[in-house]
Chains A and B, each alone.
Chain A
Amino acid sequence: DAGVIQSPRHEVTEMGQEVTLRCKPISGHDYLFWYRQTMMRGLELLIYFNNNVPIDDSGMPEDRFSAKMPNASFSTLKIQPSEPRDSAVYFCASSSLAVNTEAFFGQGTRLTVV
């Protein structure tokens, strides 16, 4: 397996624009996590899914953020409209409860909102 795949790796956008981040988890994993990492706030859990269903979205900062998982192999994190304070590295991770694994992280998307 190629691991958790995120796209794009880098995104630069203007304030007010819509941004969509994508994630393909490891095949067979039933948990998917979205994290945001900044210097100021460290690593924050935004939302996680189990079997494509959102379980806990309490970390989503505000209504401008939304996440979907339409199937077991794809998830998106959308920010609309984007603001400069959303600039961060966004990581996607997946894991499997059935085989009791750790969380495997993708390479991350570095988002810059100007």
Chain B
Amino acid sequence: AQSVSQHNHHVILSEAASLELGCNYSYGGTVNLFWYVQYPGQHLQLLLKYFSGDPLVKGIKGFEAEFIKSKFSFNLRKPSVQWSDTAEYFCAVTPNYGQNFVFGPGTRLSVLP
């Protein structure tokens, strides 16, 4: 069965610090990969997605992620975080023949002003 792990449960950063959130998945076939963000009290919204092509994917709000197939990883990065990035971040995977989205446990990001 597919599974997704996220390296950190809670990350605390100061504004302007760089961010990297780890995500690893276990699945032997071809996958589609996603990062979602959930702001406090809101629903999950898509940050970025990878289906094929360039493994470096750029998303909204300055976020990017890199798919490294050999490492089964899809880490999320942002060079300089803002207080408004405080939220929970979820990595998700689905096999590209189907749509049973599997989400990681989430990483809570707190950005200190």
Chain A: residues with CB nearer than 8 A to chain B?
31, 33, 35, 42-43, 45, 48, 50, 55-56, 91, 93, 95, 97, 100, 102-108
Contact = CB atoms under 8 A, between A and B. Distances in A.
Contact of A95 (B90, B96, B101, B106): B101
B22 interface: no
Interface of B: 32, 34, 36, 42-46, 49, 51, 90, 92, 96, 98-103, 105-106
Nearest to A42: B105
B42 to A, nearest CB: 8
A43 B90 contact: yes
Given A97-B99, A102-B46, A106-B43, 20 more contacts: A35-B103, A42-B103, A42-B105, A42-B106, A43-B44, A45-B100, A45-B101, A50-B99, A55-B100, A91-B43, A93-B44, A95-B101, A100-B32, A100-B51, A102-B34, A102-B49, A105-B36, A105-B43, A105-B45, A108-B43
A56 B103 contact: no
A35 B98 CA distance: 18
Q: Is the interface of A mostly helix, strand, loop or mixed?
A: strand
A55 B94 CA distance: 15
Nearest to A32: B99
A31 to B, nearest CB: 4
B29 to A, nearest CB: 15
